[in-house]
Amino acid sequence: MNIDSIERNELFDLAFGFVTETSENIFLTGKAGTGKTTFLKYLKELCAKNIVVAAPTGVAAINAGGVTLHSLFQLPFHPFIPTKAGKDELLGKMKFNKQRQQLLRKMELLVIDEISMVRADTMDAIDTLLRSVRRNHHTPFGGVQLLCIGDLYQLPPVAKNEEWNIMQEYYASPFFFDSLVVQEQMPLLIELNKIYRQKEDSFVRLLNKVRNNAMGADDFEDLHIRYNPDFRPGYDEKYITLTSHNNQADQINNREINKLFNAPFTYKAEVENDFPEHMFPAEKELVLKEGAQVMFLKNDTIQRKYFNGKIGVVKSLEDDKILVDADGENIYVGKETWENSRYILNRGNGKLEQETLGTFTQFPLRLAWAITIHKSQGLTFEKVMIDAGGAFSSGQVYVALSRCTSLDGIVLLSKISAAAILSNDNVVKGQQALTHKGSLPERFAGARLVFTQQLLEHIFSFADINTSFNFLLHEVKRYSEKLNRDGIESMLQNQQQFLNDKAVGEKFIGHIYTLMKEEAVIEKNPALQKRISDAAQHFDNRLMLLLNSIKNHPLVTEHKDVATAIDEVLKELALNIFTAQYYIQYCKQPFELASFLKHKLAFAQPRFSITSYASGKKQPISNVPNPVLFDTLKRWRDMVFDDTALPLYMIANVETLKALSTYLPQDKKDLVKIHGFGKAKIEKYGDDILDIITDYCEKYELQTNMQENPVNDKKEKAAVKSTTPKIDTKKISFDLYKAGKSIGAIAQERNFTTQTIEGHLAHYIESGEILIDEFLSKEKQEMIAASIKETPEATLTQLKENLPDISFGELRLMLAAVKFEESKPIANK
């Protein structure tokens, strides 16, 4: 849409300001032809809020470029009862997935088009759902700003007798303004008053009398001058008949097209994916003939040659294009595509976006000798024949008459009685109750001040961070037995530091309110601008430190389920800190409301890689005498986890790693005395662990501390050697190998791991009794030797990290071969 071509006026701009720069709920109304639809299009282009547009019917939603209220909120089709039981039933059946909940929480502005057709119980159902989903139970619509667009004097809501029998106990009328939520917080009515469709003052006055049910006998007489039941328009006059019922319009169109002797062309619509039939904006099978009178169903956004409602005559028909004569101008018409969409939350940037569910492609034309009054709503015609004698709902006659640009363009096929212009006292009373009694500009100034204060209070109160912190510590307390104490204490310190900063922010909010009393318009308040900039500089640094603390938090658990729960809250906390810092950084520059809202809308949500699961997490450990060894053992443990996917605590938990780093066991007899080690675990991992510890002790010339280990009696007994002489287990593996058996076969026969057998045979490689060539290819030997040469001080674990495709056993064998080479006399090398 070319917004530069839109004709705006003071009231139009004031309404736009109310919607975009305040948090007021607005009811934008106006007589037919005053630009309500244009306002919505303008708003969608320029609004710097997370906006969602919805309408009560599928066709209205398609025309508004939005979605239906029922699809957005998954509303039931039966009446909603605004009692506790009714609310509980509605919420109990609510099946919003996580993404839908996030979408409704991100929504800032809900626009409901064609509000005259929305029932009171629908409004209360929406209110109930939003309060629940947004966790804001005491604010109408859960704090979402509401913009209702429509004309109460046009088409009313539909409430069947059996439905109204249920509703009337709770509602004064079916209209939206009699809902409990609207009665609790009345929207501000803004009425657009410049009529663009009709130019004649006399016609405008007549329409106002029809609209307000103020027709006198003279007015009916003036209107019935247009009565001509036998009127038959000339071929080129392009009149369209407006009827009160569908079957009337269908009969007229079928009768007229059958009068044409040309061959019919049938154009089938292309429907892709999800586009329900009741939402089709055009005929699924469009049957046309040359000479048929047609109406355009879309605006020409490229050449602007036609618009929705323009009448023409078909001149020629081809498979891929149709030639239409409209007011002497030949227009080639191609197919157009309509989209059925839904709103989604983009997880990448955190913004509300429309996602196309399906498309409907068809020529934007329909037979236009006749159309129902209902379907004509929002359209403009130059010549109409109106058959509204059978009007069955209030507003139909007004809609029909107001479609035409002039009184001279109207022909009445049936007389309009006073009864057909149905009186609806509820509409009159409702409109009066909503009408603002004071000055709209003054109301806007006050509302803008409040909205600005709300924004600044939100920025400097850090409420979202506080909520996330409280929930995090609730989860930490819940899982305290499965989290490291150091991490818990550190997180408590982080919260206390944040609370200190929050207290400073709350004190600053008081200064904001004081300074805004002197000048309400923030853009004209240099003293406040300076204070905001200085405060932003201070808090930017504080938030940066806090964010780094959370991203590098010390919380650790070896339980995946606990890590999943904690990490979700940590990421939410980090996001809220990042968002607060994003807002604060804007505040370093002069604060302009419109500019800040654009900045806010442009926020791109980052992704944080935060984990509390011990695997792969580098964690600070206190009270461990050998932190380097602890870190090496932990990296070994994490590599085993990557290979086996066993839970971390089944390999070695943190307490076991601490004990290994503290007491420095030197053999398997020592390992038995370490908490967390049994026979099976020693057989699986004992050699690896002892190699790591032995390497570390040799490098730093350390002795075992096993004498300081409080030995478990049971383990002590298990560790006592048998008096029976023990056979050298390495020798048994060596003999089996010399007998021709493979490492795998020896491991299976002896019920050991292959790593254990490789450890046995490494002893004989180091002594020179077995050659390394029997186990490793020359390529692998060279690869490992190069890594050893490059990092001669590297431990076994560090070598494994450098050579992820080489096993621990292969590294152990190669290290034994290197030691053998180093032990040779120089002359033999």
Q: Considering only 98-112, 193-207, 278-292, 432-446, which range has the smallest mean pLDDT?
A: 193-207
Distance from C-alpha of 373 to C-alpha of 398, rounded to nearest angstrom? 10
pLDDT band at 528 (very low <50, low <70, confident <90, very high): very high
Same domain assignment for residues 33 and 174: yes
pLDDT band at 182 (very low <50, low <70, confident <90, very high): very high
Distance from C-alpha of 724 to C-alpha of 720, rounded to nearest angstrom? 12
**Rounded to an integer, what is the distance from CA 8 to the centroid of its chain?**
33
Q: Which residues contact 326 (CB under 8 A, 6 or more apart)?
A: 296, 305, 306, 310, 311, 312, 313
- Tell me the mean pLDDT in the region 735-748: 86
Q: Which residues contact 69 (CB under 8 A, 6 or more apart)?
A: 54, 55, 56, 75, 112, 118, 122, 126
Distance from C-alpha of 159 to C-alpha of 171, rounded to nearest angstrom? 12
Give the domain CATH number at 705. 1.10.150.80
Name the region of 112 (left: φ>0; alpha: ψ -120 to 50; beta: rest).
Answer: beta
- Maximum mean pLDDT: which of 140-154, 235-249, 364-378, 388-402: 140-154
Residue 162 has pLDDT above 90, yes or no: no
Tokens representing residue 605 in the block:
């949500």
Same domain assignment for residues 208 and 191: no
pLDDT of residue 619: 53
- Tell me the mean pLDDT in the region 172-188: 94
pLDDT band at 720 (very low <50, low <70, confident <90, very high): very low
pLDDT of residue 719: 44
Same domain assignment for residues 178 and 255: no
Residue 585 has pLDDT above 90, yes or no: yes
pLDDT of residue 766: 87
pLDDT of residue 1: 53
pLDDT of residue 616: 54
- Tell me the mean pLDDT in the region 760-788: 88
Residue 828 has pLDDT above 70, yes or no: no
Closest C-alpha among 38, 85, 83 to residue 65: 38
Residue 462 has pLDDT above 70, yes or no: yes
pLDDT of residue 134: 92
Residue 310 gets which letter from DSSP?
-
Residue 204 has pLDDT above 70, yes or no: yes
Same domain assignment for residues 586 and 507: yes
pLDDT of residue 794: 72
3-state secondary structure of 192: strand
- Tell me the mean pLDDT in the region 236-260: 89
Same domain assignment for residues 575 and 557: yes
pLDDT band at 643 (very low <50, low <70, confident <90, very high): confident
From 662, 689, 719, give the residue that closes a domain.
719
Closest C-alpha among 666, 641, 525, 538 to residue 591: 525
What Rg do the C-alpha atoms of the chain give, in angstroms? 40
Cβ-count burial of 40 within 10 angstroms (0-12 exposed, 13-18 middle, 19+ buried)? buried
Q: Does residue 102 fall inside a structural domain?
A: yes
- Tell me the mean pLDDT in the region 156-180: 90
Give the domain CATH number at 116. 3.40.50.300
pLDDT of residue 349: 64
Residue 181 sits in which domain range?
A: 3-195
pLDDT band at 290 (very low <50, low <70, confident <90, very high): very high
pLDDT of residue 32: 77
pLDDT band at 717 (very low <50, low <70, confident <90, very high): very low
Q: How many CB atoms lie within 10 A of CB 89?
A: 14
Higher-confidence residue: 343 or 140? 140
Q: Which residues contact 806 (CB under 8 A, 6 or more apart)?
A: 780, 783, 784, 799, 800
Q: Does residue 469 fall inside a structural domain?
A: yes
Q: Does residue 760 fall inside a structural domain?
A: yes
Concatenate the DSSP letters of all residues of 757-775 into one string.
Answer: HHHHHHHHHHTTSS-GGGT
From 195, 228, 261, give the residue that closes a domain.
195
Same domain assignment for residues 596 and 676: no
Q: Does residue 312 fall inside a structural domain?
A: yes
pLDDT in tens, 475-505: 999 998 888 888 888 889 999 999 999 999 9
Q: Considering only 98-112, 339-353, 619-633, 744-758, which range has the smallest mean pLDDT?
A: 619-633
Same domain assignment for residues 10 and 142: yes
3-state secondary structure of 291: coil
Residue 712 has pLDDT above 60, yes or no: no
pLDDT of residue 713: 46
- Structural domain count of the chain: 5
First-last CA distance in the chain: 85
pLDDT in tens, 674-689: 888 888 888 888 888 8
From 719, 743, 776, give the residue that closes a domain.
719
Q: Does residue 432 fall inside a structural domain?
A: no
Same domain assignment for residues 164 and 127: yes
Same domain assignment for residues 31 and 168: yes
pLDDT of residue 722: 42
Q: Which residues contact 748 (CB under 8 A, 6 or more apart)?
A: none
Cβ proximity of 512 and 457 under 8 Å = yes
Residue 543 has pLDDT above 70, yes or no: yes
Distance from C-alpha of 188 to C-alpha of 23, rounded to nearest angstrom? 11
pLDDT band at 268 (very low <50, low <70, confident <90, very high): very high
pLDDT of residue 577: 95
Cβ proximity of 682 and 671 under 8 Å = yes
Same domain assignment for residues 11 and 124: yes
Q: Does residue 616 fall inside a structural domain?
A: no
Distance from C-alpha of 66 to C-alpha of 55, rounded to nearest angstrom? 7
Higher-confidence residue: 755 or 427? 427
Same domain assignment for residues 780 and 714: no
pLDDT band at 303 (very low <50, low <70, confident <90, very high): low
Q: Does residue 693 fall inside a structural domain?
A: yes
Average pLDDT over the chain, rounded to whole?
85
Identify the residue whose tokens are 């409080």.
Answer: 710
Q: Considering only 36-45, 123-132, 307-316, 630-639, which range has the smallest mean pLDDT?
A: 630-639
pLDDT in tens, 370-399: 998 888 877 888 899 998 766 656 678 888
Same domain assignment for residues 217 and 287: yes
- Maximum mean pLDDT: which of 225-229, 633-637, 825-829: 225-229
Distance from C-alpha of 583 to C-alpha of 459, rounded to nearest angstrom? 7
Q: Does residue 620 fall inside a structural domain?
A: no
Residue 271 has pLDDT above 60, yes or no: yes
pLDDT of residue 4: 66
